[in-house]
Amino acid sequence: MAYLTKSYVDPARFICIYPAYINNKKTIAEGRRIPIEKAVQNPTCSEIADVCRANKLNAIVEADKMYTRECNRDAQFRGRVRVQLKNEDGSPCVDKLPSRKAVLLRAAEEIPKLKTRTQKTGGSDHLNIGVPAGLATGTELSGVLFVRPPPPDQRHVSWNLCSLQ
């Protein structure tokens, strides 16, 4: 119980937030802590920290840490954010965010509004790049041959071998 003797402003007393807590791709068993309707698709530590700092909370990113239930060891899923919830006297740092759950819900609400998220949605998928405007199908431009993909109804449909017998 040595942690109880430490002050609320000591980083050891800050709460830990892992991206899995607000990831809509995770189940409750995999670590999600908020309802799936309010969760975000693949949040990162930096996004969580940005939202916390925008809400006047002291946030520290620990990029070398890893959530124990996270199976994927990619750099995208690494890291955690430590957030100070209480002042020295024990009062909440931000009255609107008095608890861990309130911080998680606020982060999940504001991450889709971040500039990094809104700029990503404007691009095209790697599967639907197609031919740039003004170029004919089969045109070669700096060593790249552009081929227009077939319409969705004419794309190859995989065969179910069990149904052919």
Query: Could you read off the pLDDT of 96-121 as tens digits, one per residue?
Result: 999 999 999 999 999 999 988 888 65
**DSSP state, 29?**
T
Cα 137 from Cα 145, distance rounded (Å): 9
- Report DSSP letters for 74-135, one per residue: SGGG--EEEE--B-TTS-BSSTT--SHHHHHHHHHHHGGGSHHHHHHTTS--SSS--PPTT-
Which residues contact residue 51 at a Cβ distance below 8 angstroms, ignoring those fewer than 6 apart? Answer: 106, 107, 110, 111, 114
Domains of the chain, CATH where assigned: 2-120 (3.30.56.30)
What pLDDT does residue 76 have?
82
**What is the structure's pLDDT at 113?**
93
pLDDT for 147 equals 57
pTM of the shown model: 0.69
How confident is the model at residue 127, as a pLDDT? 44
- pLDDT at residue number 155: 52
Q: How confident is the model at residue 74 (pLDDT cuts 50, 70, 90)?
A: confident
Mean pLDDT within 66-78: 86
